[in-house]
Chains A and B, each alone.
Chain A
Amino acid sequence: MNDDSHAWRQLEQRAADQLKADFAGRVLRVSRGPSEAAWRELNEVASDQLRLGFADRVLRAVKERLERPSWTGQLAIGCATVALCFAAVVYFHDRATRLQDETNMAAWEPLASESQYFGLRQ
């Protein structure tokens, strides 16, 4: 009987040795979930990531963004430039075509009158 209980105690001791330090604390932590302290620590680690002068950097970035033309503004300028270029191309093409027509007509007029003259003579 004594041998038995001694063996049991040894078995218990052996099993207990497998448990890591602060076993009870761990079990309680797992069952309760993260504590307020853990969340607070998370917040502290996160706020430590913000370098000094964070607010000033944000306000400076806001100003820079305001001074920089917006994406829609840039798009509007781009569209206006394209429209202006297109109108210029159409205008100059039309003008060149009209001038060419006038030159051609001017060259054709003597030819037409000559051919008319020869046609009447025949």
Chain B
Amino acid sequence: MESTQTSTLEATVRSAQQGAESAQRELIVAYQRRVAGFVYAVTGRSDCVEDLCQLVFIKMVRALPGLQSPAQFEAWLFRMARNVCIDHLRRERLRRIFVPFAAEHSEVAEPVGAVDSEELDALRHALSRLRPAERALLALAQEGRSQVEMAEITGTSVVVVKARLYRARERLREFYQPKNTHES
């Protein structure tokens, strides 16, 4: 069953590589939710999710012909998403140096309705206390990426990934406090 899905995905990727718009659309629709979740987990902002997702998929379509192994598509896509998010956060940090907003300007609360449950709020709070690289690692693990893939995506070794992932999970658990316990 899984191998059928994999071969279907590979066929779609190959078709998209040859420029078939329907295949490209199919890939975008298939992965937009997962990429959006990943982007949200790494950036912690829901207002930039669509823009960053758009950037990820534009890069995907343009770089698809250069993808050597269609079997590696998912890992390749999430590496792209990670890089887009990290670049975005780096640009934001630079922008804050040149345009020094006050904390209340740069940390505007999420729009009403974006955060609806206590657990989600706690998860967002815990994620916000971690470094972007840790958030990306946790989001990749949540996405079901293997440690080998994570090592490839982050450009490190499996041993380093294991250690960092363990530390990130510990820190997430440490900061994971449902509402009314983390808000004093």
Alpha-carbon gap, A65 to B123, bound state (A): 37
Q: Quick check: B178 and A46 within 8 Å, CB to CB?
A: no
With A and B bound together, what is the CA distance between A31 and B54 in angstroms? 37
Among B7-15, B93-101, B148-156, B169-177, which stretch is in contact with chain A?
B169-177
Q: Taking A38-B123, A45-B114, A51-B50 as contacts, is the C-beta distance between A59 and B34 under 8 angstroms?
A: no
* A window 21-76: CB within 8 A of B: 26, 29-35, 37-39, 41-47, 49-51, 54-59, 61-62, 65
With the chains together, A97 CA to B61 CA distance in Å? 56
Q: In the bound complex, what is the Cα–Cα distance between A22 and B49 (angstroms)? A: 33
Instruction: Count contacts between A and B, CB distance < 8 Å.
Output: 113
In Å, the complex CA distance between A38 and B115 comes to 11
Quick check: A43 and B49 within 8 Å, CB to CB?
no
The CA of A62 and the CA of B61, in the complex, are separated in Å by 7
With the chains together, A7 CA to B84 CA distance in Å?
62
Partner of B36, one of A30, A37, A39, A47: A47
Given A59-B25, A61-B58, residue A42 in contact with residue B122 (CB < 8 A): no
Q: Mark B21-43, 1 if CB is under 8 A from A, else 0.
A: 10011001100111011011100
A49 to B47, CA, bound (A): 7
Distance A45 CA – B41 CA, assembled complex (angstroms): 10
Mask of B116-145 contacts with A, CB within 8 angstroms, 1/0: 110110111010000000000000001000
> At the interface, yes or no: A20 with Cβ under 8 Å from chain B?
yes
Q: In the bound complex, do residue A59 and residue B122 qualify as a contact, i.e. CB atoms below 8 Å apart?
A: no
Chain B 57-74 near chain A by CB (<8 Å), digits 1 or 0: 110011000000000000
Which residues in A have their C-beta under 8 angstroms from that of B180? 20
User: A38 to B119, Cβ gap below 8 A?
Assistant: yes
Per the bound structure, the CA–CA distance linking A46 and B167 in Å amounts to: 25
Contact A65 B58 (CB under 8 A): yes
Residues of B within 8 A of A32 (CB): 173
B49 → chain A closest CB, angstroms:
4
Bound together, the chains give a CA A59 to CA B29 distance in angstroms of: 11
Q: Can you pick out 29 interface pairs between chain A and chain B where the beta carbons lie within 8 Å of each other? A: A26-B178, A29-B119, A29-B178, A30-B173, A30-B177, A30-B178, A33-B169, A33-B176, A34-B172, A41-B117, A41-B119, A43-B34, A43-B36, A46-B33, A46-B40, A46-B41, A47-B36, A49-B36, A50-B33, A51-B50, A54-B28, A54-B50, A54-B54, A58-B57, A58-B61, A59-B24, A61-B54, A61-B58, A65-B62
